[in-house]
């Protein structure tokens, strides 16, 4: 079965195009290092919750939007090696590659795919 990395983040709404360009560059690097696909989604209909929600999870501020993203990999082994290579890739170095959002509020995790209908 395949493997998925999932992400949720709060991004300043004014940085939408900056974020899109950042994500587009990163997607190319992930694809070169084994990812099958990279999907980035800009929140349009993301309701506020009373107990839990995407907005609460990332502590979204009034001037921010929620981004939901995932990367698919053929397996966890390919993902682990891919991430190692991505982190070593000079295009992903933090110098000159500033994230256009607060990475401390990024939520992420790796998941085994159990249904893909």
- pLDDT on residue 8: 98
Per-10-residue mean pLDDT of the chain, 117 residues long, equals 95 96 96 98 95 96 97 98 96 80 93 94
| Distance separating alpha carbons of residues 59 and 103, to the nearest angstrom | 12
Does pTM top 0.85 for this prediction?
A: yes
Domain ranges, ordered by start, for the chain: 3-112
Bridge-based pairing of strands 107-112 and 37-42 is: unpaired
Give me the architecture of the 3-112 domain, per CATH: 2-Layer Sandwich (3.30)
- For every residue of the chain, DSSP letters joined together read --EEEEEEEEEEGGGHHHHHHHHHHHHHHHHHTT-SEEEEEE-SS----SS--HHHHTT--TTEEEEEEEEEES-HHHHHHHHHHHHH-GGG-STT---SS-GGG-EEEEEE-----
């Amino acid at each position: 079965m395949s493997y998925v990395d999932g992400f949720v983040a709060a991004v300043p709404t004014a940085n939408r195009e900056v974020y899109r360009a950042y994500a587009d560059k990163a997607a190319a690097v992930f694809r070169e290092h084994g990812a099958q696909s990279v999907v980035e989604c800009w929140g349009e209909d993301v309701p506020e919750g009373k107990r839990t929600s995407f907005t609460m999870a990332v502590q979204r501020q009034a001037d921010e939007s929620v981004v939901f993203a995932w990367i698919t990999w053929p397996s966890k082994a390919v993902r682990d090696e891919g991430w190692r290579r991505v982190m070593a890739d000079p295009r992903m170095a933090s110098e000159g590659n500033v994230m256009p959002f607060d990475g401390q509020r990024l939520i992420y995790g790796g998941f085994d795919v159990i249904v893909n209908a």
